[in-house]
Amino acid sequence: MASSSTSVVVSNKEKENKNTKKVTLKSSDGESFEVDESVAMESQTIKHIIEDGCANNEIPLPNVTSGILSRVIEYCKKHKEAAGESEPSVTSYTSNSTTNPLTEWDTEFVKVDQNTLFDLILAANYLDIKGLLDLTCKTVADMMKGKTPQEIRETFHIKNDYTPEEEAEVRKENQWAFE
């Protein structure tokens, strides 16, 4: 009797370990972040590293600073949680707010300064996290919508290298868009 109850306890513990398997991510500035493996695997890049057996418990990410990495992890955690709560078949989020329950959270998440936003784009690209890349790219696009060329230049600090004559010519080419 005693031995059977022991074996039950052991197998439960095994299950626990499987569920909370962790992996450590190391940022470019040497900071270590321990996260659930399932959360880390939101990144296709990390997923491949783990699947190829090259993890060794610590994965260096020389292209991502600690500040950005912590945000990325926050994003992955939140989206992994939400995916866990819904049907397994529903894994692709559209940007349609009526179907994406995280729209509000996402909107707050990208309310950051431009430098951070672009760093997030680079990180999402390097780590291959589609949802984050789509979200950040769309945010940049939204910052251009409805703006005149001058307003776009001011928003993103772009140098206008047209001469006044060239600029007038380009405007005339598509005059309809400037009315």
Partner 1 sequence: MEVCIDFLNWLDPDISVQILMYLEDPSDLVHVSSVSRSWRDFVIANGLFKHLCLRMFPQLSRVARVMELNKCRAKKPVEVGSSYSMEWESLARDHRVYATLAQVCTSFIFEDCISEAISASSTDHYPDESIHNTLLPAYTWRASYWSSEGQSNPAVPETLIYKLKSEFCVITEINICPFQQHLSSLHIYSSNSVRFRMGHPKGPYDLGSRHLGDSLPCNADDTFIWTYTSPEFPMAQEGCLQNFRLPEPVLCIGGILQIELLGRVQRHEMDGLFYICMSYVQVVGCSLSPTFCVEILEPSGTFVLKNDMQGKSYTPPSLPKNEAQGNKYAVEFIDEYESGEEEDEAEVEYAL
Binding stretches for partner 1 (CB under 8 A): 113-115, 118, 121-122, 125, 133-134, 137-138, 140-142, 144-149, 152-153, 156-162, 166-167, 169-179
Q: What number of H helices and E strands is found in the chain? A: 9, 3
> Cα-Cα-Cα-Cα dihedral of 37, 38, 43, 47, to 10°?
60
Rank residues 87 and 161 by Cβ distance to partner 1 and give the closer one.
161
Distance CA 58, CA 54 (A): 9
- Least distance to partner 1, CB of residue 154, Å: 10
- Least distance to partner 1, CB of residue 75, Å: 17
Residues 6 or more apart in contact with residue 162 via CB below 8 angstroms: 170
Rank residues 51 and 166 by Cβ distance to partner 1 and give the closer one.
166
- Least distance to partner 1, CB of residue 6, Å: 55
Rank residues 105 and 162 by Cβ distance to partner 1 and give the closer one.
162
The type of residue at 144 is: M
Which value, in Å, is the radius of gyration of the alpha carbons in the chain?
23
Rank residues 69 and 133 by Cβ distance to partner 1 and give the closer one.
133
Residues 6 or more apart in contact with residue 41 via CB below 8 angstroms: 47, 50
- Least distance to partner 1, CB of residue 137, Å: 5
- Least distance to partner 1, CB of residue 30, Å: 23
Rank residues 33 and 126 by Cβ distance to partner 1 and give the closer one.
126
Between vectors from CA 121 to CA 117 and to CA 124, what angle results, nearest 5°? 130
Structure tokens at 11: 């197998």
Quickly tell me which residue has 């659930």 as its tokens.
36
